[in-house]
Structure 1
Amino acid sequence: MELMPKEFFKKPPLELARELLGCELIKETSEGTASGYIVETEAYIGAVDKAAHSYNYKRTKRTEVMFGEAGHAYTYVMHTHCLVNVVAGEVGEPEAILIRAVEPLRGVELMYERRGDKKEKDLTNGPGKLTKALGIMKADYGHPYGKSPLYIADGFTPEHISTGPRVGIDNSGEARNFPWRFWVTGNTFVSR
């Protein structure tokens, strides 16, 4: 396992969203380590993206990490689920990549303990499901990937990548149609 260097994250979000596919997302907890290959992502570009929390450079306590250095975790609670993002791009540009799904790799038994008696494909095939399965919490906000307990490491290179509109952002005007969701074509752990 080779951790992704800081420079890996300093890319435009549409590029990073593709390059995260196949990388391994890892979370260490007192219960053990769980990980999965990232198989679905969504890019959010705050300056122009009405679906982004940081649209039009909106700076709040919640979005503050998005204005900082790339390669940090942006976590927040949506409804009852914690969601995890990777901050992308340049300092001052509020951009991030939502991790929507992972293919379980390590700690699968621990994932079952956390998620209950599910089919394996349902353990991590959604942004709230994967954070619960891996043990990622709101407290991981601002944490740099590559420093315990949260890591992104190399994995595999997808043969084919599909792209389409993002999910669950119907109230965001024209931004709902942006084809900024990326997934490993044919992977059974993709959310939809």
Structure 2
Amino acid sequence: MDQDPFYSSSTTDQISREMLGMLLTYDSPKGLVGGWIVETEAYMGQKDSAAHAFKGRRTASNEPLYGPPGTVYIYSIHGRYLLDVAAQEKDIPQGVLIRAVEPTIGLDIMEQNRTKHGVDLTNGPGKLMEAFGIADKKMNMEIFGDSKLNIHQQDKKIPAHIEESNRIGVANQGTWATKPLRYFVKGNPYVSGIKKRDVDLKTHGWR
């Protein structure tokens, strides 16, 4: 990950907003793939009833969350792999889930990996990992930028408007389930679940 102080100076929900528009890349065995981050979710650690580290839960599987800022945390749910980044100092287990990207690099590789095209290619956390060709947790505990995964903080598009909502898929996860900790680029067609009438066909939601 490009060295930038925001990872140590911002709260995790702020980081989730700041990541929108950053370029996420993966140097895959088939070639470089990547896209602009258009949707994220913040998970606020021990106090967050929807977080993997709720009440200080610490296991071999969620150990990357306790790593230094920028640590890769890949986990699986319902047979799909999801990509998270540890957002705070070591042993503060807060993270940002990258939910969707607007694909820009290696489109042919991603379409081959998913046998899909158009917005369905990367408009969800499991879909983007499948498009990238990541189907294991081998990069866990690596640091973005020192890994084949990178978040390019300086290579960034600017959202015209950032929307927020409750997070997806955590409805039964206690009092924090309804907190507005999901952030997305308003009008971007690759945001998961966006209605066609809300898509900005002209700018995709960028300035």
TM > 0.5:
yes
Tell me, what secondary structure is at the counterpart of 2:190?
coil
2:162–2:183 CA contact under 8 A, matched in 1: yes
Q: Deviations over 1:13-68 (max 9, x none)?
A: 10110011000110012211100100000000112111111001111111111112
* Matched pairs, number: 189
Asked whether 1:121 is paired with 2:114, we answer no
Q: Which residue does 2:101 correspond to in 1?
A: 102
Tell me, what secondary structure is at the counterpart of 2:42?
strand
Tell me, what secondary structure is at the counterpart of 1:125?
coil
Output the aligned Cα RMSD: 1.2
TM (norm. structure 2) is 0.88
Q: Deviations over 1:132-179 (max 9, x none)?
A: 111234212112111241111122111110001000012211111010
Tell me, what secondary structure is at the counterpart of 1:142?
coil
Q: Which of 128, 131, 141 matches 1:130? A: 128
Asked whether 1:169 is paired with 2:170, we answer yes
1:6–1:70 CA contact under 8 A, matched in 2: no
TM (norm. structure 1) is 0.94
Q: Which residue does 1:35 correspond to in 2?
A: 34
Find the aligned partners of 1:15 and 1:52 in 2 and give their Cα distance.
Answer: 17
Tell me, what secondary structure is at the counterpart of 2:177?
helix
Identical-residue share of aligned pairs (%):
40
Q: Which residue does 1:69 correspond to in 2?
A: 68
Find the aligned partners of 1:23 and 1:135 in 2 and give their Cα distance.
Answer: 20
Give the CA deviation at 1:93.
Answer: 1.1
Give the CA deviation at 1:70.
Answer: 0.5
Give the CA deviation at 1:9.
Answer: 2.4
Give the CA deviation at 1:6.
Answer: 5.0
Q: Which residue does 1:183 correspond to in 2?
A: 184
2:139–2:147 CA contact under 8 A, matched in 1: no
Tell me, what secondary structure is at the counterpart of 1:60?
coil
Which moved further from structure 2: 146-155 or 49-58? Answer: 146-155
Gaps of 5+ in 2: 194-207
Find the aligned partners of 1:184 and 1:135 in 2 and give their Cα distance.
Answer: 24
Counterpart amino acid of residue 28 in structure 2: T
Task: State the 4+ residue runs in structure 1 displaced beyond 4 angstroms.
Answer: none
Counterpart amino acid of residue 11 in structure 2: P
Gaps of 5+ in 1: none
Asked whether 1:22 is paired with 2:21, we answer yes
Tell me, what secondary structure is at the counterpart of 2:43?
strand
Find the aligned partners of 2:57 and 2:87 in 1 and give their Cα distance.
Answer: 16
